[in-house]
């Protein structure tokens, strides 16, 4: 196979920029074009539900790369250029204006679209979603002191948004049908402690589903299912996850099943098409890893795949979330563990929970214990054999376990 | 810590364990930012302490294999050159010269490390 000379990247989030970065770092010197449906330089999304909503970060503060980087790395960024179709058999992509660009590899980095509430009124434009810079700007203007804000969904985005609204002096109601959101990922102890923080900070937390959303002239009524009462709000935000933006892949005949299905090197079912980031799902993985680091790693794997080089082993997925001044970090999925071990004071807030299978750590979650997570990631990735008692013993430096533990 | 024309004495050899770092405060460095002095692989390195991406202290980072990983978002920097090794960091950390003399670790703020 001849080395590709023209690579087109569709989308401009972290996975897209990471692909470009890694391609150049690996010595690729051919054409590299990024098509962004949005205007402006690519930005980092995690701050949108944190410092951007708080008004502490401007667009320039959250750029993935400074403007000159695109020149230096010869990355041709076409912003405001949505792609209409991918035509892998014809060797190109079709742009919104009908023009066709030639590419011998297409990297789909189309990300996800926030899910609308699947209830009557759920798609009303008055219900805010949070995914893009524009979404964050629109929402920020609504988070005024004293405003009644209803946040529907208490996962990562919902919890962060509720915490920001609370910090800005809004009167916040947080609604989720699950009594302890995130428990499957971070375990019951930590999920419960985090969820209780909302109440402690003055947020009204309601465990209920949403039946319908009704817009009145001056307010929005959220009718709940199985709950006696209606939430009246000035602003409603839904954070109930994303739907992978697979339309281009489906139209091109690329295999899609809960995301664009990819193999090693981010290869899809079509030899000239790759997929990275939130839109992609590794064959054999149950879920799409919709997290920051996974997107970065996908880009690196795609670059190696394009150049026909093997990818390094992927570590366990990792993510963080900031709310109410606390930081949650998690490695792996707690539901994969047979048993858990706690480290840290149960009542002091800061706590780490390790999830074990046999004598190996397979997952960990921590609140305000960053170093434990650094060790946990390495314990998982290096398959270190650990002694559960020492893992729980605060007098034992975890790095000692990392160095002394037997790995196989 | 003591200061003279040949640098700042920040610690005695043995005070900073392998894989650990010492944060030298900004009012001691006289350099605008605190400086983190790292001990990795038997050698000492110094970088500006505040991560070029966020507001984290690299002295609290994870030190291994010639790199420090930021405690906040896991950006990694080369201890020798200060260059970022992965996103989210895009800008390098300033390096500072460190040497070991008379059983002590001396920091030279503002003098680039000679690698």
pLDDT digits (tens, 9 = 90+) for A176-230: 999 999 999 999 999 999 999 999 999 999 999 999 999 998 899 999 998 888 9
Superfamily, domain A325-404? FAD/NAD-linked reductase, C-terminal dimerisation domain (3.30.390.30)
Rounded distance between C-alpha atoms, residue A298 and residue A316, angstroms = 13
Report the alpha-carbon distance of residue A69 to residue A59 in Å, rounded.
Answer: 16
Chain A residues whose C-beta sits inside 8 Å of any chain B C-beta: 14, 17-18, 21, 44, 64-66, 69, 292-293, 296, 318, 320, 370-371, 374, 399
pLDDT digit string (tens) for A59-88? 999 999 999 999 999 999 999 999 999 998
Q: What is the pLDDT of residue A408?
A: 46
pLDDT at A110 over 80: yes
Q: What is the mean pLDDT of residues A158-187?
A: 96
- pLDDT cut 90: percent of chain A above it: 87
Instruction: Report residue B55's pLDDT band, with 50, 70 and 90 as the boundaries.
Output: confident
Domain boundary assignment for chain A: 6-113+242-306, 116-238, 325-404
DSSP labels, A281-327:
EETT-SS---SHHHHHHHHHHHHHHHTT-PPPPP---EEEEEETTEE
Write out pLDDT tens, residues A127-146. 999 999 999 999 999 999 99
* pLDDT score, position B113: 76
CB contact under 8 A, A371 and B74: no
The answer to whether the Cβ–Cβ distance between A318 and B90 falls below 8 Å is no
Interface test with A, best of B67, B76, B85, B87 (most A CBs within 10 A): B87
- pTM for this predicted structure: 0.90
Mean pLDDT estimate for chain B? 91
Tell me how far CA of residue A256 lies from CA of A11, A19, A280, B102, in angstroms.
Answer: 18, 21, 9, 65
In whole angstroms, what is the distance from residue A154 CA to residue A174 CA? 7
- Probe site for chain A from B58, B62, B64 (most A CB atoms < 10 A): B62
Judge whether residue B4 has pLDDT over 70. Answer: no
Residue found by looking up tokens 């008379």 in the block: B102
**In whole numbers, what is the pLDDT of chain A averaged over residues?**
94
Homologous superfamily of B18-95: Rieske [2Fe-2S] iron-sulphur domain (2.102.10.10)
Q: How far apart are CA A86 and CA A274, in angstroms?
A: 12
- CB atoms under 10 Å from CB of A378, counted, come to 20
How many Cα atoms within 13 Å fall on the side-chain side of residue A214? 10
CB of B54 less than 8 A from some CB of A = no
Q: Which residues contact B43 (CB under 8 A, 6 or more apart)?
A: none
> What's the mean pLDDT in A146-150?
98
Tell me, yes or no, if the two domains A6-113+242-306 and A116-238 fold the same way. yes
What integer pLDDT is reported at residue A15 of this predicted model? 98
- A116-238 is classed in which CATH architecture? 3-Layer(bba) Sandwich (3.50)
* Set of chain B residues whose Cβ sits within 8 Å of the Cβ of A374: 62, 69, 71
The CA distance from A239 to the nearest CA of chain B, in Å, is 23
Length of chain A: 408
Residue B92, pLDDT score: 93
Is residue B69 a contact partner of residue B88, using CB atoms and an 8 Å limit? Answer: no
Write the pLDDT tens digit of every residue in A271-330: 999 999 999 999 999 888 899 999 999 999 999 999 999 998 888 999 999 999 999 999
Q: Closest Cα partner for A279 from A300, A256, A311, A309?
A: A256
Task: Say what the pLDDT of residue A164 is.
Answer: 98
- Reported as a pLDDT band with limits 50, 70 and 90, residue B114 is low
A406: confidence class by pLDDT, cuts 50, 70, 90: low
- Among A54, A399, A401, A402, which would you mutate to test the B interface (most chain B Cβ atoms within 10 Å of its Cβ)? A399
Distance CA B21, CA A314 (A): 28
Is the bond preceding residue A65 a cis peptide, omega within 30 degrees?
no
CATH topology of domain A6-113+242-306: FAD/NAD(P)-binding domain (3.50.50)
Q: Is B87 on the interface with A (CB under 8 A)?
A: yes
**Contact present, B53 and B75 (Cβ < 8 Å):** yes
- Burial tier of A98 (Cβ tally within 10 Å: 0-12, 13-18, 19+): exposed
pLDDT at A264 over 70: yes
**Cβ burial A288-310 (10 Å sphere, 16+ → b, else e):** bbbbbbbbbbbbbbbbbbbbeee
């Amino acid at each position: 196979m001849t080395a590709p000379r023209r690579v087109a990247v569709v989308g401009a989030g972290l996975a897209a920029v990471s692909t470009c970065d890694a391609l150049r770092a690996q010595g690729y010197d051919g054409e590299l074009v990024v098509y962004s449906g949005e205007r402006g330089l690519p930005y980092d999304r995690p701050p949108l539900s944190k410092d951007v909503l708080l008004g502490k970060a401007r667009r320039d503060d959250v750029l993935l790369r400074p403007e000159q980087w695109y020149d230096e790395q010869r990355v041709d960024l076409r912003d405001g250029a949505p792609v209409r179709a991918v035509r892998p058999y014809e060797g190109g992509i079709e742009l919104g204006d009908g023009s066709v660009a030639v590419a011998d590899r297409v990297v789909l980095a189309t990300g996800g679209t926030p899910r609308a509430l699947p209830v009557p009124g759920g798609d009303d434009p008055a219900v805010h979603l949070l995914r893009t810079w524009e979404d964050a700007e629109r929402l920020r203007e609504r988070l005024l002191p004293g405003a009644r804000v209803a946040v529907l969904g208490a996962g990562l985005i919902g919890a962060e948004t509720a915490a920001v609204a609370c910090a800005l002096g809004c009167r916040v109601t947080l609604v989720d049908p699950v009594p302890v959101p995130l428990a499957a990922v971070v375990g019951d102890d930590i999920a419960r402690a985090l969820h209780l923080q909302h109440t402690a900070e003055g947020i009204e937390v309601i465990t209920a589903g949403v039946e319908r959303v009704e817009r009145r002239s001056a307010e929005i009524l959220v009718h709940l299912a199985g709950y006696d009462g209606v939430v009246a709000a000035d602003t409603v935000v839904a954070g109930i996850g994303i739907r992978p933006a697979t339309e281009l892949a489906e139209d091109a005949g690329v295999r899609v099943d809960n995301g664009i299905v990819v193999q090693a090197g981010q290869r899809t079912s079509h030899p000239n098409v790759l997929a990275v980031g939130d839109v992609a799902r590794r064959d054999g993985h149950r879920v799409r890893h919709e997290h920051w680091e996974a997107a970065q790693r996908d880009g690196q794997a795609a670059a190696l795949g394009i150049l026909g080089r093997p990818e390094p082993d992927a570590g366990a997925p990792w993510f963080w979330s900031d709310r109410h001044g606390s930081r949650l970090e998690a490695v792996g999925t707690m539901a994969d563990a047979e048993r858990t071990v706690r480290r840290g004071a149960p009542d002091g807030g800061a706590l780490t929970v390790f999830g074990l299978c046999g004598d190996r750590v397979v997952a960990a979650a921590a609140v305000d214990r960053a170093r434990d997570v650094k060790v946990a990631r390495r314990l998982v990735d290096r398959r270190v054999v650990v002694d559960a008692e020492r893992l729980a013993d605060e007098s034992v430096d975890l790095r000692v376990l990392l160095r002394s533990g037997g790995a196989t | 810590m003591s200061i003279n024309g040949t640098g700042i004495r920040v610690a005695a050899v043995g005070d900073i364990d392998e894989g650990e770092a010492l944060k030298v405060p900004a009012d001691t460095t006289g350099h605008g930012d605190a400086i983190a002095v790292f001990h990795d692989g038997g050698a000492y390195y110094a970088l500006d302490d505040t991560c070029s991406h966020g507001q984290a202290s690299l002295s609290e980072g994870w030190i291994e294999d010639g790199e420090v990983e930021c405690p906040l978002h896991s950006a990694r920097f080369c201890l020798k050159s200060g260059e970022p090794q992965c996103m989210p960091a895009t800008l390098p950390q300033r390096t500072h010269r460190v040497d070991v003399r008379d059983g002590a670790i001396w920091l030279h703020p503002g003098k680039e490390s000679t690698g």
